[in-house]
Amino acid sequence: MDESAANPELMTEAPGRVTRFFRGASYPFRGCIFLARNSGLWAKAALPAAITLTLILGFAGAALYFLEPISGFLLPDSLSSEAWWGRAASGAATALAALGCVLVGSLAGFATAMPLVGPLNELLSESVERLYGSEGAAAKEWSIRVLSKDILRALGTAAQRFLIFGVIYIPLLALSFIPGVGLIFTAAILVYSAYFLTLTFIEPCQDCHRMTFKQKLAWSRRTAPSFMGFGAATVLLLLVPCAALVLAPALVTGATLLWVDLGGLGALPDPEASA
């Protein structure tokens, strides 16, 4: 079954891949609107956002503890000077070190938060499915034991996802510095980032339906145009500083709407759907 067959109503006007790409790109914005219009979702969206913000600020603050040794490494005392150029170089080294500390700390905080808030994002996704008119996954009983199991499962899924991301992303990043062809690999990084971001934000919904990692990859292939359209729009949105903190719940919401409109598990070919 192809993507247009998963939800004929979504694809009736023009089933072309370009149209599906741009329709997929509209879903991050649809998620923002849907979340804004349904105040009952706000509390479920606020808690994972607050946890993520706390961890990012905590890790970024901890990283700033290393500001002085890093700035000293960038500009050793032997190169410092009381002249204006020495003070300017020292200020630039400190600013660069501070930026690096905050960036690395923020990424570490975000990476730590995603598995921890995974079960909370699943709860948000379940609610979005039901409000949107889908039967959704069966409601779970929430307890400390269930939450602990879900966090461990989310940690395992995150490890798989980031392993695959690193295996592909790091070589692309290294190749992007090659003169002459670097732009090609930079473009490849953006394309892969779009794929990875969609996989990240649609995962809470897929985890509600207990999809295996193999099924998730199969689903992304079967719905590739819309899948990549969502990711492309997400990449552009996340270029805005700190946007991930504000938009993460809306992106989970938008990805859930996309999942439903593309047929959910029905978008899988039969062998994967029955696995």
DSSP 8-state secondary structure symbol assigned to residue 141: P
| Cα gap 96→92, rounded to integer Å | 6
The closest alpha carbon to 188, from 198, 173, 199, 200, belongs to 173
Domain-embedded: residue 109? no
| Cα gap 137→120, rounded to integer Å | 15
Domain-embedded: residue 147? yes
Largest CA distance in the chain: 72
All residues at 6 or more sequence positions from 154 whose CB lies less than 8 Å from its CB, including other chains: 114, 115, 116, 118, 119, 207
Q: Measure CA of the first residue to CA of the last residue in the chain; give whole Å.
A: 16
User: Which residue has better confidence, 120 or 36?
Assistant: 36
Highest mean pLDDT among 147-151, 153-157, 210-214: 210-214
Domain-embedded: residue 84? no
Task: Look at 79-93, 97-111, 146-160, 190-204 and tell me which has the smallest mean pLDDT.
Answer: 79-93
pLDDT at 229 over 90: yes
Helices assigned H by DSSP within the chain: 3-6, 17-25, 27-37, 42-63, 67-74, 84-131, 144-175, 182-208, 213-222, 224-238, 243-261, 270-273
User: Residue 120 sits in which domain range?
Assistant: 3-45+116-133+140-269
Q: What is the pTM of this model?
A: 0.72
Domain-embedded: residue 97? no
Domain-embedded: residue 66? no
Domain-embedded: residue 7? yes
pLDDT at 65: 75
| HSE toward the beta carbon, residue 274, CA cutoff 13 A | 3
Residue 242 CA, distance from chain mean position:
13
User: By three-state DSSP, how is residue 161 classified?
Assistant: helix
The total of structural domains in the chain comes to 1
pLDDT tens profile 48-77: 888 888 887 888 788 777 666 655 555 555
pLDDT tens profile 20-50: 999 999 999 999 999 999 999 999 898 888 8
Q: Extract long-range pairs of 54-61: CB within 8 Å, 24+ residues apart.
A: 55/109, 55/110, 55/112, 55/113, 55/116, 56/105, 56/106, 56/109, 56/110, 56/113, 56/245, 57/109, 58/109, 59/105, 59/106, 59/108, 59/109, 59/112, 60/101, 60/102, 60/105, 60/106, 60/109, 61/105
Mean pLDDT of the chain: 75
State how far the alpha carbon of 43 is from the alpha carbons of 35, 132, 190, 192, 252, in Å.
11, 18, 33, 32, 14
Residue in the structure block whose two tokens are 């790091």: 170
